[in-house]
Amino acid sequence: MLMMPTLDEAQVAYLVCDPELKITAISAHAAELLGVAPNELLGVPITDAVLALAMSAPRLLEVVTGRLTQFALEKLNLFQPNGETRYLSLYALSFASGLLVILADQSNQMRLQQHIQQQYYELSLLHERVAEQNQELTLRSQRTADLLALVTHDLRSRMSGMSSSIEFLLEPDAEPLCDEQQHTLMLLKQEVDAALALTRQVLDLQRLEAATPAHRYPIELELLVEQVAQAFHSHARERGVTILFDHDGALEQTFAPDVIVIGDGEVLQQAIANLISNGIRHTQRGSTIVLRLTTLHDIPILDPPLDPTQLWCVLDVEDNGPGIAPDVAQRIFEPFSRSGQTGLGLAVAQKAILQHGGRLLLQSYPGTGTTFRVYLPYVPQEQVGG
């Protein structure tokens, strides 16, 4: 047991368990992290002391017997008596016929990461609010070009400020970060830089009204949809909204695999993001947004009709919110059609889908939820050249 004084001197948070996983020793630092007095946990199974381990007893016993060299759990959420939440990582090693369990406090790093993510999502919402405010100026002056320049300057300034903040956090002489945090910050930096480019594209309505996309290349639509939705998960959780993928057979249908759309990925990404954002904003807490991608076997009757010689896929963005009144639904894709609540989002989405030879339709009635249905022409993956 000569290791224990060394760990104590280094202020390492640790617990020692016997072969039956009962706690036989606990450091003062570990007790502090768990929010208990040191003697309270002696003799208590570690799976009771740390509830996040309740399902992990078999794995811990495998470490005790040597079948596993170690066992780790990352980012455990532990609620403290004072109402705060700690984020811990746990590492279990075989020790003296039992276990040595090391606890690492990652609360500060997690809060920093959450703060940066929150800033990013608030910035996305700010994008729409600025566009709505600028529309009021457009109605007075009709000077669209000047307004677009003003919006672009405002958004670029704010996004550039956030990009600079992330760069500061990634500097070598800044507070040390783990590899995962550095990776997350780098991804955020990439997203902010992409948002800077998207600002120019989204606000450039003339380009979206062009007959063909500016850049055309094969796009895996399922992957694109999942990436966009993942970017909204944190914001959706804050609003009490759940985003579900119908791609594993758990729901009614199956996500269509190997669907390749030829077009501009950034434009399609913005269109799908606008539809998901609209669903989050217009549903109550506890609501669900379902994303469903399928291929069509029978061409529906639309006006104007879809090309029957083309392969078509359908992306549904379905929510169980309050629905949309018929008079509002008739003008839903017009800019600022809902008394300033919708802004340019749905109008831009429709232009982007039309630009790719598709259709964007609305299915909604008051009290029954809303579905935005996107029809897009596609080619099977096996027909796309490598």
Q: 229, 236 in Cβ contact below 8 A?
A: no
Q: What are the pLDDT digits (tens) for 137-167?
A: 556 555 555 566 566 667 777 777 788 888 8
| 369 Rama sector, left if φ>0, alpha if ψ -120 to 50, beta otherwise | left
Give residue 340's pLDDT. 42
pLDDT for 376 equals 95
What pLDDT shows up at residue 345?
A: 77
Q: How far apart are CA 85 and CA 81, in angstroms?
A: 9
Quick one: 277 exposed, middle or buried, by C-beta within 10 A (0-12, 13-18, 19+)? buried
Per CATH, which fold does 3-105 belong to?
Answer: Beta-Lactamase (3.30.450)
Beta strands at 288-295 and 242-245: parallel, antiparallel or unpaired: parallel
Residue with the larger pLDDT of the pair 7 and 203: 7
Task: Describe the crossing of helices 107-141 and 179-203 by its angle, rounded to 10 degrees.
Answer: 10
Whether residue 280 has pLDDT greater than 50: yes
Q: What are phi and psi of 215, to 5 degrees?
A: -130, 130
Band (45; pLDDT cuts 50, 70, 90): very high
| pLDDT confidence band for 8 (50 / 70 / 90) | confident
E strands present in 224-358:
242-245, 259-263, 288-295, 312-319
The predicted-structure confidence for 194-245, as pLDDT tens digits, reads as follows: 676 556 544 545 556 554 555 789 999 999 999 999 999 998 999 999 999 8
* Helix, coil or strand: residue 131: helix
- What's the number of CA atoms in the CB half-sphere (13 Å) around residue 199? 27
Q: What is the pTM of this model?
A: 0.49
| 162, 123 contact by CB (below 8 A) | yes
Which pLDDT score, from 0 to 100, does residue 130 have? 78
Pairing status of strand 70-79 against strand 85-95: antiparallel
Domains 3-105 and 217-383 share a fold: no
Question: Mean pLDDT throughout 122-144?
Answer: 70
Our measurement of the distance from residue 224's CA atom to the centroid of its chain's CA atoms, rounded to an integer in Å, reads 12
- Whether residue 3 is predicted with pLDDT greater than 80 in this model: the reply is no
Helix, strand or coil, per DSSP, at residue 291:
strand
3-state SS record for 75-97 = EEEEECCCCCEEEEEEEEEEECC
Is residue 313 within 8 A of residue 293, CB to CB? The reply is yes
Query: Residue 303: exposed, middle, or buried by beta-carbon count in 10 A (0-12, 13-18, 19+)?
Result: exposed
Residue 154, pLDDT score: 76
Token pair for 190:
């990439």
Chain center to CA of 27: 37
**All structural domains of the chain with their residue ranges:** 3-105, 108-203, 217-383
CATH topology of domain 217-383: Heat Shock Protein 90 (3.30.565)
